[in-house]
Structure 1
Amino acid sequence: MDTAPKRILLIDMDDILRRTLAEQLSAQDGLRPFPVASGEEALAHLAMHGADAALLDATLAAQGLIPALRAGGLSGPLLLLLPVGMGVPIGGDDHLTKPIRLGTLLTRLKALLNQTDTQSASAGMDDILSLGPYRFLPAAKRLETLDGTRIRLTEKETQILNHLCRRGGTAPREDILDGVWGYGAGINTHTLETHIYRLRRKLAAGQPLVMRIEGGYRLATAPVPA
């Protein structure tokens, strides 16, 4: 079992917030923050040392940093820190609005890390499944169409689809939240709906993949081995 601290890349232009969060995260068992102030510093650190997750100022995310981080090797969860009133950039796995409450941040971050570890170790992540007109490759975090077009998935989009596949194609909303984010039933959050909405946007020109049903979601077609 890996007991090494999780490396958290903390990317924020606000010096005070960055230092404060770094101090608070350093005091937590199992977390090791690496604070940087810019995208350039973040990419340089990622290339040299890697990271298990990232906390990212949404202002930098809106400037195109998320694809650069993913291309630079960040495969773990990415939690966006949003200024008040700012929309949520595409590509994050979860988000919090500033000012940041440490308890909420730790809950969300640890849930993301735990679920990433669980999903990576779970059976089926190396399988390739057919979902109607798509081939689903969980380990590669992508869908492929019959003509070979590749559609990149975020960590959470991958986990949502994988969770539905492991449930036979249908799951209650609370079950998905608990299985993918680690949230208990009754949590008031639109995180799941936001991720499914963005997945649908990616597939706008293709056949719908995830459909809303009463109390939950289902895949448009049953998963079968490719």
Structure 2
Amino acid sequence: MRTGGKSILLVDADDALRRSLAELLAGQGGLTVVEAGTAAGALAGLPVPPPDAALVDATLPDMAGGDLCRVLRAAGLEGPLFLLLSPGMPAPPPDPDGAGEHVAKPIRLSALLARLGEKLSRVPGGGVAIGPYRFDAAAKRLETTDGRRIRLTEKETRILDHLHRHDAPVPREALLDAVWGYGAGIDTHTLETHIYRLRRKIEPDPDQSRLLVTVAGGYRLVP
């Protein structure tokens, strides 16, 4: 999960749950967490600019969680809004003016982190952020902040897409299987050739890679 530098608002009346979840999010996801136990507290302490995302309990003591989500959206929070549902509570339909996501309690931290990471890595216009680029896998391209487009081959696209989905280094054999298919009979030299060509497109200095780096036995993307 790549969420470094992101902030999240966590609103839940259960002090023990909120503090525990805030500590886990900050420790495992690299997030800055802003806590509140009530809707009033959340709005009073809402930072400027608003956080990148919010987790809001559906059953707050002073306002329905769904209503708070709509208020937060109107206040300028553009990122993902997750409604935290009590056990057995039916999932509401996505609200375009409020919470577009929901999470049922008890919360599975790994699943929540994965969903947050995917949502927070999205950038305006579609695609995901990879270093200084916007990566659009469907269009097979990278785009810079000044609008320059870098065309990618099918294999280059699949290499970047697979590496982006993994925070940990990806072994060469695993990357071969993911890009060419299990048992395709492709050797690591073919992969290294594609990595070399990809670096020439995305690295300012391909001989000193800082974005797509080699690690013991494989490769990884560095945010």
TM-score normalised per structure 2? 0.48
Return the index of the structure with the highest Cα Rg. Answer: 2
Tell me the TM-score normalised to structure 1 length: 0.48
More helix by share: 1
